[in-house]
Amino acid sequence: MTDDAKLTAQSAASASGHAAADAGSIAAEAMRRRRRRRVLTYAGRLITLALIVGGWQVLTDVKIVDAFFFGSPVGIVNRLIDWAEHGTAYGSLWEQIWITIEEALLGFVAGVVSGVVFGVALGEFRYLADVLGPYIKVVNALPRIVLGSIFIIWLGLGMSSKVVLAAVLVFFVVFFNAFQGVRDVDRNLVANARILGASRLQITRHVVFPSALTWIIASLHVSLGFSIIGAIVGEFLGAQKGLGLVIATAQNTFDANGVFAAMLVIGILALSAEALMAQLERRLLSWRPPSSAEIADAAVA
Amino acid sequence: MGVALAVGPVTGRTPGSIELLGVTKRFLTPSGASMTALRDVDMVIAPGQFCAVVGPTGCGKSTTLTLVSGLDRPSAGTVRVGGQPVEGIPKGVGFVFQNDALLPWKTVLGNVLLGPMFRGLPRKEAEARGREWLQVVGLADFASHHPHQLSGGMRKRVSLAAALINEPSILLMDEPFGALDVQTKAIMSNELLALWEQTRPSVIFVTHDLEEAIGLADRVVVMTAGPGTVKAVYDIDLPRPRGAVQEIRFEHRFLELHQQIWESLRSEVGRAYARTAAIPGAVGGQA
Ligand SMILES: Nc1ncnc2c1ncn2[C@@H]1O[C@H](COP(=O)(O)OP(=O)(O)O)[C@@H](O)[C@H]1O
Ligand SMILES: [Mg+2]
């Protein structure tokens, strides 16, 4: 009993004496560990990249892999430098990139706006949904890429056919999410707004739309990727400019390095778009409590 | 809290009466059959009266409130609010839901000023009134927080402010404190009473907590297990102002009333339980 008491008293004294220092050192230790893990993660990523790229280069150098069919990292970089300095067959590289970005962005905006408008309208008005539902399902069931051919016949080889194709791809993703989001709205919130005196339009604006926004924003990630796919596939099917055309040309001339170089550019485009979208999403959904996944992300990043 | 309440920005009003006459409500079950939730309910609540409704789960208490609020219509019978038959949402009705119906993407202030905003008050004025009411419920410092950043009790206070800002003459509350811990619930009950005593709206307060019902109300209505109907009505003659709900419950008269009402309630609770648990004979005895 007395021993116990003594022990407790001792540990209490030492605890109060070192409490501040302990808290400080624990925080510092945690910080150190986190930084260490981050450095290790990046190092691991770099090594992986070096292994893949280096291995590829070595394999083509010693001719285990045929550089004519598979390209090589050095060949790809040279092709990019060549494009940047002397331009592609259709004008400067920057012009091709810009054309594709423009088509994708216009298609994205058109697809998102129309998707949200139709999604919310059909979600809010049951009658509209009942009438139009089957048609939307039919169009959605089509492999939408084949629509690209029709758009090129209708709209020609210019940008508009690609914009429309990108918009159609984006539309369906956003539409279904907006529709589902509207249907998913908490009935309790709507009832509360009605009691507080909200009109139908006010309910849509202040309750239904913001509630559906979570779903809509979740669809934007996928949509942005789809808009780039739409633009490039459209260019592939028939165009006068753009990265898709550059790839198609490289393919026709068996220029593997050219195909990979264009792929690399598209990849960088897609990744930057993704990063921008993540930023936008964070801003728009700032009211939400951080999910555990996001906390985990923050810890790793 | 109690001190802040004294500065409530509430002005005089004409209070509303509530009448349910022979009200029956049927629902269609998913299988297509008809299910009677309420049968022949008669209930009259005088202007300014605080009426608590108790009854077993599923007996139609929430349904009663949706009928009074005009969110739903009775299958038969009449519901009148302020003497007028209910068509659409009647004027002057406020509702506090069991799960707080706060918009998670709006700030606390944004949520409180919804009522004035929906009613077309200019943004500036709505905001000023919102801030006044946040002051009343003691959340002035949390105006720009989002609901998920508040505790359950604080969210309840926001809900209360959001409902009261429209100065309702009728306040419907559906187990408003059901999800709170015992201490917070006691505090909230006192605050509710203080607010009510200032502005005196008619209240229908649904609860499963008999002590809460007796502590707060002028009248306690006991409903039967579904289909719900009014089984008995008890007038609570405890003097007002009641003061702390957690102290009054030891008074002799309180215990007497509790005993009486519980007698009436417990057989209904037993019946409702037997129905859901489907263990014949297991209930009734000591329920
Ligand atoms: N919208 C609805 N559709 C079908 N049945 C309902 C609906 N609302 C309530 N009910 C049924 O009516 C009965 C009464 O419900 P409710 O009023 O919520 O009970 P309480 O609030 O007393 O627990 C329950 O059996 C419930 O299942
Ligand atoms: Mg209920």
CATH of the domain at B37: 3.40.50.300
The count of C-alpha atoms lying within 13 angstroms of the C-alpha of A185, restricted to the half-sphere facing its C-beta, is 27
Instruction: Answer yes or no: do B59 and B182 share one domain.
Output: yes
Contact B118 A191 (CB under 8 A): no
Last residue of one domain, picked from the residues B134, B150, B167: B167
Instruction: Answer yes or no: do B53 and B193 share one domain.
Output: yes
Contact B146 A287 (CB under 8 A): yes
In a domain, residue B3? The reply is yes
Instruction: Answer yes or no: do B52 and B127 share one domain.
Output: no
B67-90 burial, b at 16+ Cβ within 10 Å, e below that, comes to bbbbbbebbebebbbbeeebeebb
Tokens of A131: 């009438």
Instruction: Answer yes or no: do B187 and B58 share one domain.
Output: yes
Q: What is the CA radius of gyration of chain B?
A: 19
Instruction: Answer yes or no: do B158 and B220 share one domain.
Output: no
Domain that holds residue B126: 102-167
Instruction: Answer yes or no: do B183 and B87 share one domain.
Output: yes
Instruction: Answer yes or no: do B176 and B68 share one domain.
Output: yes
| Closest chain A residue by Cα to residue B102 | A189
Instruction: Answer yes or no: do B35 and B160 share one domain.
Output: no
CA B229 to ligand 1 center in whole angstroms: 13
Q: Note the pLDDT tens digit of each residue in B33-61.
A: 999 999 999 999 999 999 999 999 889 99
Query: What size, in residues, is chain A?
Result: 301
Q: Give ipTM to 2 decimals.
A: 0.86
Q: To probe the interface with A, which of B95, B114, B117, B169 has the most A CB atoms within 10 Å?
A: B114
Last residue of one domain, picked from the residues B121, B139, B167: B167
In a domain, residue B284? The reply is no
Instruction: Answer yes or no: do B79 and B24 share one domain.
Output: yes
Q: Does domain A68-300 have CATH number 3.40.50.1970?
A: no
Does ligand 1 have an atom closer than 6 angstroms to the CB of B62?
yes
Contact B103 A210 (CB under 8 A): yes
Domains in chain B, number: 2
In a domain, residue B286? The reply is no
Query: Is the pLDDT reported for residue B5 higher than 50?
Result: no
The minimal CB distance from B94 to the residues A195, A199, A210 is found for A195
Instruction: Answer yes or no: do B4 and B86 share one domain.
Output: yes
Which uninterrupted H or E stretch holds B63? helix B61-68
In a domain, residue B287? The reply is no
Can you tell me the distance from the alpha carbon of A150 to that of A223, in angstroms, rounded to the nearest whole number? 21
- Count CB atoms within 10 A of the CB of residue B132: 17
pLDDT tens for the 301 residues of chain A, in order: 445 555 555 555 455 555 666 778 888 889 999 999 999 999 999 999 999 999 999 999 998 888 888 889 999 999 999 998 988 888 899 999 999 999 999 999 999 999 999 999 999 998 999 999 899 888 888 888 888 899 999 999 999 999 999 999 999 999 999 999 999 999 999 999 999 999 999 999 999 999 999 899 989 988 999 999 999 999 999 889 999 999 999 999 999 999 999 999 999 999 999 899 989 888 888 888 766 555 444 444 3
Instruction: Answer yes or no: do B35 and B141 share one domain.
Output: no
Which of left, alpha, beta for B217 (phi over 0: left; psi -120 to 50: alpha)? beta
Which uninterrupted H or E stretch holds B237? none
Can you tell me the distance from the alpha carbon of B73 to that of B94, in angstroms, rounded to the nearest whole number? 17
Phi–psi pair at B229, nearest 5 degrees:
-150, 165
Closest C-alpha among B225, B163, B149 to residue B10: B163
User: Which of B39, B62, B231, B271 has most ligand 1 atoms within 8 Å of its beta carbon, as the pocket-test mutant?
Assistant: B62
In a domain, residue B131? The reply is yes
The answer to whether A261 and A76 have CB atoms below 8 angstroms apart is yes
Contact B71 A192 (CB under 8 A): no
The answer to whether A250 and A258 have CB atoms below 8 angstroms apart is yes
| Closest chain A residue by Cα to residue B113 | A196
Closest ligand to B67 CA?
1
Instruction: Answer yes or no: do B245 and B112 share one domain.
Output: no
Amino acid B4: pLDDT? 39
Last residue of one domain, picked from the residues B114, B141, B167: B167
In a domain, residue B32? The reply is yes
Look at residue B218 and give its three-state secondary structure: coil
pTM score, whole prediction: 0.80
The answer to whether B142 and B150 have CB atoms below 8 angstroms apart is yes
Residue B232 pairs with which residues in a beta bridge? B222
In a domain, residue B254? The reply is yes
